[in-house]
Each structure stands twice: as structure tokens, then as C-alpha cells.
Structure 1
Amino acid sequence: MKSVKRILLILLVILAVLAYINYPKLNIISGFAAKSMASNQFIAHRDLEAVKANDLNVPLIKLADVEVIEDGAAAAVYGLMERDAICRDGMGCVLINDDYDPNRYDFTPKRTHKETGLPFPYGNNEPKDTLFANVDYQQLQKAVDGAFANAGIQKTRTVLVAYKNHIVSEKYIDGFTKETPILGWSMTKSILATLYGILEFEGKIDLNQPTPIASWQDDERKDITLNHLLRMQSGLAWDEDYSSISDVTRMLFLDADMTLAQEEKEALAPPTEIWNYSSGTSNLLSGILRGYFDTHQEYLDFPYTALIDKIGMYSMLIEADMEGNYVGSSYGWASTRDWAKFGLLYLNKGRWNGDQLFDARWVDYITKPTLHSDGTYGAHFWLNAEGKFPDVPKDLYSANGYQGQYVFIIPSKDLVVVRTGLAESPEFDVNHFLSEIIKALN
């Protein structure tokens, strides 16, 4: 009997330790579930059961019980650690805490929606029915279909191929259409960087000047420039681990002001000595961006007036944190066609239907490999400079996002390819996918 009691006591101790260790994770789990459901319901207008069966059907997250409420969603794990996400007009959905005051920020970005009557990409009418003699459409269809094969593994949702500014192929799974906004995750970083390219083109910033952050001026961080931040080579500490309670998961699912997480980190090395991918850096850049404007309203309007609405990405919405800062690291939504417009803007070196949005040399800047990134990273864009994808041209660069969201730009082929889904390498083979598309261009 004594031995049985000892065993039971040991088991209770083990369970108590496990509960103590894992209880904080419930905050992240229920936060992810509530935020994802709210945004998918109120931005993408997707079926609730489809979101549960796919977007939330991942380890740990699927433990959450989630429900849609009047203006958002709520989630908890076995009744514990309930989190609420609410949605705001023009600002997207946000996880809230007990300090949330719905009247504190009563701002909405001003949007301008102009129907040009033009076909895609310079308007929202259907693309021209164009046939290119050098395109093997049978091979192209085979390549696109291949991205949807083994659906339970590859988990592709949408694909669009644009050649010489024309859509030559696109495909969607059930539940997604050409109008459905899709979360780009870290593709949003490339949108954010483009805003800096526009400011530089307008002569309003110098990327090589130290950042205007007061808390850095009395220590070694004072030498960090905007260029260092855009290239993820600031030397600041950051842990980008989505499988645990880390810097990035705390920021995205616990912080009311996401611009501060990276600002408060210590320097591990002088700028340029290390390369460390950091979503905190992108949100810090979003906070710095806000400082360039006299009012909060001007900051909220800028991404839309200077870029998004200017190129007709009317489905796009960038969500803001509880303090009204754009979550430039992760929370940009847009339809597949609108993500393609962003790629085409870069393919055309910043020129859009007669307007120059940023200097053509900005493309050279964002595609220049960053030291210590092994040729895979430029300035908030990913690169193929060292042949990571061996069967794809080395001039490829891309906006990449969690779970395999991609906008690929291949200038030497006049090509933009968008792929969205719920799986990335190795389940989704980018090299094979792109090389099969390129085979269709003779």
C-alpha cells in the first residue's frame, strides 16, 4: 500500500510540474486560435468549420475550443486561459487584454477605391485573353496542377502565374476565389519595406542614418541604422521560434504594443556582424515609421495612399496591434490577384501604369545579398542569389510567409508566381514547382 501511495504521489508531482511548465503555453494556444478565427471570419469571410478543420488543425492549437462572437472570436483550452480577439473597422482583428479601451483609438485608415475600367493588373476587370506563342500551356497547366497534388501533404490553396503582366494561369481550391483575402504572414514584411522605399524616393529618409530611437542613444545600439534593420543585421538579440514561448510568440500573442519587443533587446554584436531573422525588427520598423508622421491618422493612411490603393490592392488590409501600430511583421491580408499586383510592381521596378512609386534602384537595394545570410536574404525580401533553388534562375527574389505563402519575382523570365497554402518545404517543393513553370516558357 505504501508503494502505491508513493507512486501516486510521484505521478501527482509529475503532473503538477507538467502543468506548471505548460500552463503559460495555453495563453499562446488560445490566443492564436482566437486571433486566427476572428480574422478569417471578419476579413476573409471563410466558413467557420473549414477554419477549424484546416487553419486550426495543427499540434497544440487544435486543443483550443473556439467560437465566433459578435465582433470577433473567443478561445480557451479545456476552459482555461480564455482569450478574446475583437475586430475593428479598417484595422483588422486584435487580441485584447483587461486594459483594452475601445474608445482609445477611434481611427480608421482612409481608403480610396477607384475603378479604372482596365483589365488586370492596372484595374480589377478580368485580364485580357492573351496567348503567348512561346508558352507551352499544357506544360504550364501540368506545373500548376502539380502544386495541388497530394492535397493532404502540399496543402496548396491558390496559385497564380503572371507572365509579362498577364495572368497565364490561376487555380483555387474550394472555399477560395480570386476575391478571397489570404493572410500573407511574413510577406507583410516586404510590404513594410516598400513603404520605406517610397519614403526614400520622396527624399524623406536616409537609410544610412542612425535610427531615431531615444532609448538607444546612450549605448552601443546608437549606431544601428534603418539599413541594418531592413537587412536583419542590427546585432540585437531575438528568438524567432514558433514552437515555444519565445520572443516572437510573446510579441504576437501577448504584447499590446508590438513595436517595443525588439527595441528593448540588448545588442549581441555590432551591426553587420551577425544576421538574425526577426519579426520584432519589422514591428520596430513599423513603430519608427509611425514617428515620421505628425498624427496617428497620417500614419494609418500612408500604406494605403502611397502603395496599396495606388496599385489597386483593394482587398488588402494590414492589421494593427492594440496600440494602433501596424503589425508589419505578419498581419497583411490580400487576395491572390492583389498579392500578384505587388509582385508585378517589383517586376516593373516600381513603375505602375505611368507612375513611379519608388526608385528603380530600390530593387537593386532589396536584392543585394545581406552579409552572413548565405545569399538568401536582401532587405526584407528573400533571394536565390546562391542557388538555394538550383533549377531556378538566381535573380529570383520573393516575399515569403509562414506555412508557404510566396510571391516569387523572376525578372529574367518576366514572371511573377503567387502560391498560398498551409505547408512549406519539404512538404511543398519550391524548386520543383517553379522549375516546372519555367519549363513552359520556351
Structure 2
Amino acid sequence: MKKFKRVLLLFLIILGITVFYNYPKLNILAGYSAKNTASSVFLAGRSLEFTDANDNNFSPISITSNKIDIKEKSATGSVYGLLKRKAVYREGLGAVLVTNDFDITKPQPAPKRSKPNHTVPFPYGNANHKDTIFPNIAYKKLNETIDTIFNDRNQTRSIVVVYKDKIIAEKYDTGFTKESKQLGWSMTKSITGTLFGILNCKGEINLEENNLFPEWENDDRKNITIHNLLQMNSGLEWEEDYNTISDVTKMLFLEKNMTKTQVNKSLIGKPDESWNYSSGTSNLLSGILRTKFDTHQEYLDFWYSALIDKIGMNSMVIETDMSNHFVGSSYAWATARDWAKLGLLYLHNGEWNGEHLFDKDWVSYATTPTPTSNGRYGAQIWLNKGGKHPDVPKNMFSFNGYKGQNVFILPSQDLVVVRTGLTKNADVNTLLKGIVNSIKH
């Protein structure tokens, strides 16, 4: 019996040490699982079984288990039962990870939304698009190209190809339709950046504004401008690694107010000389947007009235954090067709159905390479000027997200291509090359 007790004590000590040293990782894993489950089930309308089998089945998230509460509209994720995290869905605000002291019954202001237009065809409304046959398109080649990216290796969920404002090809994986909301991850950054473009073109914001936060007043961070932040070129410390405990995973799965996460980071480079991709920066920008409005309700409404509902992306929901700020780095959900509308807005240099939301100068600014980015990045937008996709025109630019969410804009070809999926390793260069080559210009 004494020997058994010693073995049991030793086991408990080892277990305690293991939990202690792995607690931060387990906390983040359980948080990811709970948040993703709540969004998938209550926002996107998928089942728990589908979510576990398709969205939470990759390492190390696969070690978690999830339960949902239909009445409360919540999801609880746990790791071996050692640690639990809860995420709660709120209408109009999406799902949010909450702490034990968060009052889920307290009403929160939600954005006011416009009614969808179901009578006008895509892209200016949400009615079925009118089929248009273009004589210069090799449709067989186009469809064969698209078919090649739907397989287990590429894990593609949707493809929408828009040419001259018409959908010329569209395909969805099993379990998905044109009505399915899909998480854009970092494509959300391009939404955030576009809002600055709208304010800039109205003369309501100065991109060279500095001294942005009280915490920066007494050191060199006061020299960082909104322009630097838009280009991810502030010089602020940040680690963007989703495979470990890093600044981005701690922000997304531990912080109550994500707009403040990077405020307290040190300056480790020089503004305009230190490009470093940072989700913390995009949420700083979301916080800066809040300061441009007198009330929180105005801030919430602006994202929709000035852009999202304005161009008919009525399926889109951008989720907020516990402080009710938009997670401008990562959490926009929308159908593939609605993601295509954002691409079309840029293709048309900010004009939407006769109204200018921003002008061509903003598109030029947003697609100008950030210094030291090797032609890869503009203002919250990815570029091909460095030739990352060698068989695609270098003036192509894109909104990109974790695990391979993409909206590609090809101005010379009058094309917008949306691809969503579960892996960033899909061969989009071959996909885009095949699409471009199927159209004679």
C-alpha cells in the first residue's frame, strides 16, 4: 500500500508539473476550440459534429473536446478535462471568448444593419446573378482548372470567379453552398484598411497623424503614424506565429481588449524601415477608428453603413472582443460571393453602383509596396509585385487569410477570384494561371 501511495504521489506531482508548464498552451488550445465552435455553430449555422470533424480536427486542436449549450448559445472547449474555456454568441456581434467574471446577460450595443436587396442581381444585390456567356472564355478549360483544386490535399471549400462583374465559375465543397458564411481570418485586415481609405477620401482622417496613444508620448513611439501602421511598418515588437504561444495567439485567445495588445510593445525597429506582419497592428487600427467617433454605437455602425452593407455584403459579421471592439485583424465571416464584392470594389477603384466610396488614389496608395516588404505588402493588402505567384501578372493584389483564404484582384484581366479552404498550401499560382489563360484578351 505504501508503494502504491508513493507511485500515486509521484504521478500527481508529475501531472501537476506538466499542467503548470503547459497551462498557457492548454488555455489557448481550449480557447481556440471554444471560439471556433461557437462561431461555426451559432454564426455559420454548422453542426457541432461537422465542426469537430472538419474544423477542429487538426493538431494540436484535435486533442480538445467541445460541448454546446443551445439555449445559452455558448460553446465550451476543454483539453483532457483539465482546463475549460467558454465562448458565447451574441446576435450581431458574433462569438466571443469570455472569462468567469464576464456577465453574458448584460446587453451589449450591436451594429445597426441595412436590409439586404434580394431583387437586384449580383453584384449590386443578392438575387441570383444573370448568366452571361462570353465568347472569349474557354469554359471547359476554366472548369477543369477549378476542379483540380478541389481535393484532399488542397482542402478547398469554395471558388468564385467574377469576370466583368459576372460570375463565370462557382464551385463549393460538400457541405457548403453560396449561402455558407466562411471565416476570412486576416482578410478582415483589408476591411479595416478600407475603412481608413473611406475616411481619408472624405478628409476625415490624416494618415500622417502621430502621437497616437498616451503610452507613446514620452518615447520614440510618438513618431509612429497611421500610415506606418497601415503598412505594418511601425517598428513595434510583435511575433505572428499561430503554431506556438506567441503575441498573436495570446491576443486572440486571452485578451479582453485586443485593440490595446500592441500598445505596450517596445519599439525594436525604425518606422518605415521595419516591415513586420502583425495582427496586433490591425487591432490597433480598430482602436484608432473608435477614437474617431463620439459614441461606441457610431463606431459599430460605421463599419457596416460606410462599407459592408453599403456594397451589399449583408451576410458579413465582424466579431467583437470582450470590450466590444471589432477584431479588425481576424474575425470577419461572409459568403464567398460577398467576399468577392470587396474585391470588385477595389477593381472599380472605389466606385460602387455609381457612388464613390474612395478613389483611385487610395487604391494606388494601398497597393504601393511597403518599404522592406520586398514588394509583398501594401496597406493591409498583399501584393504580387515581388513575383510570389510567378505565372500571374505582377499588378495582382489580394486579401489573404490564415489557412488559405483569398480574394485575388487582377485589374488587367478585369477579374476577381475568391478561394476559401483549410490549407494555405493550395497551389493558387496554378489555379490563377489556368483561370487567366482560359480567357482571351
The residue that corresponds to 2:385 in the other structure is 385
CA positional deviation for 1:104: 5.3
For 1:340, the aligned partner's letter is A
The residue that corresponds to 1:92 in the other structure is 94
1:144-183 matched pairs, under 5 angstroms: 144-148=146-150, 151-183=151-183
Tell me, in whole angstroms, the C-alpha distance in 1 between the residues paired with 2:7 and 2:275.
49
The residue that corresponds to 1:110 in the other structure is 112
Tell me, in whole angstroms, the C-alpha distance in 2 between the residues paired with 1:9 and 1:81.
21
Offset from partner CA, 1:4-56 (integer Å, 9 cap, x none): xx999999877665443222211011100100010011111012211101110
Offset from partner CA, 1:366-425 (integer Å, 9 cap, x none): 110111111110110000001111100001100000000000000011000000000112
The residue that corresponds to 1:327 in the other structure is 327
The residue that corresponds to 2:3 in the other structure is none
Give RMSD over aligned pairs.
1.8
Tell me, in whole angstroms, the C-alpha distance in 2 between the residues paired with 1:245 and 1:81.
16
CA positional deviation for 1:347: 0.5
Offset from partner CA, 1:192-242 (integer Å, 9 cap, x none): 000000000111001012153111111110000000000001000001111
CA positional deviation for 1:101: 2.4
Tell me, in whole angstroms, the C-alpha distance in 1 between the residues paired with 2:18 and 2:437.
53
Distance 1:416 1:214, change over 3 A: same
Q: TM-score, normalised by structure 1?
A: 0.95
The residue that corresponds to 2:187 in the other structure is 187
Helix, strand or coil for the counterpart of 1:67? strand
Helix, strand or coil for the counterpart of 1:30? helix
CA positional deviation for 1:271: 0.5
Tell me, in whole angstroms, the C-alpha distance in 2 between the residues paired with 1:105 and 1:349.
39
Helix, strand or coil for the counterpart of 1:152? coil
CA positional deviation for 1:174: 1.6
1:58-77 matched pairs, under 5 angstroms: 58-69=58-69, 70=71, 71-77=73-79
Distance 1:142 1:366, change over 3 A: same
1:237-276 matched pairs, under 5 angstroms: 237-276=237-276
CA positional deviation for 1:245: 1.1
The residue that corresponds to 1:81 in the other structure is 83
The residue that corresponds to 1:433 in the other structure is 431
Helix, strand or coil for the counterpart of 1:333? strand
The residue that corresponds to 1:3 in the other structure is none
Aligned length: 434
Tell me, in whole angstroms, the C-alpha distance in 2 between the residues paired with 1:321 and 1:402.
19
Offset from partner CA, 1:169-202 (integer Å, 9 cap, x none): 0001121111111000000000000000000011
Tell me, in whole angstroms, the C-alpha distance in 1 between the residues paired with 2:421 and 2:289.
30
For 2:28, the aligned partner's letter is I
CA positional deviation for 1:153: 1.4
Tell me, in whole angstroms, the C-alpha distance in 1 between the residues paired with 2:325 and 2:16.
39
Q: Between the two proteins, what is the percent identity of the paired residues?
A: 54
Distance 1:439 1:211, change over 3 A: farther
Distance 1:45 1:256, change over 3 A: same
CA positional deviation for 1:81: 1.3
1:395-406 matched pairs, under 5 angstroms: 395-406=395-406
Helix, strand or coil for the counterpart of 1:167? strand
Distance 1:10 1:153, change over 3 A: farther
Tell me, in whole angstroms, the C-alpha distance in 2 between the residues paired with 1:134 and 1:354.
27
Report if the CA contact (8 A) 2:186-2:401 is conserved.
Answer: yes
Report if the CA contact (8 A) 2:211-2:217 is conserved.
Answer: no
For 1:128, the aligned partner's letter is K
Helix, strand or coil for the counterpart of 1:263? coil
The residue that corresponds to 1:288 in the other structure is 288
Tell me, in whole angstroms, the C-alpha distance in 1 between the residues paired with 2:303 and 2:25.
34
Report the more deviating stretch, 41-50 or 192-201: 41-50
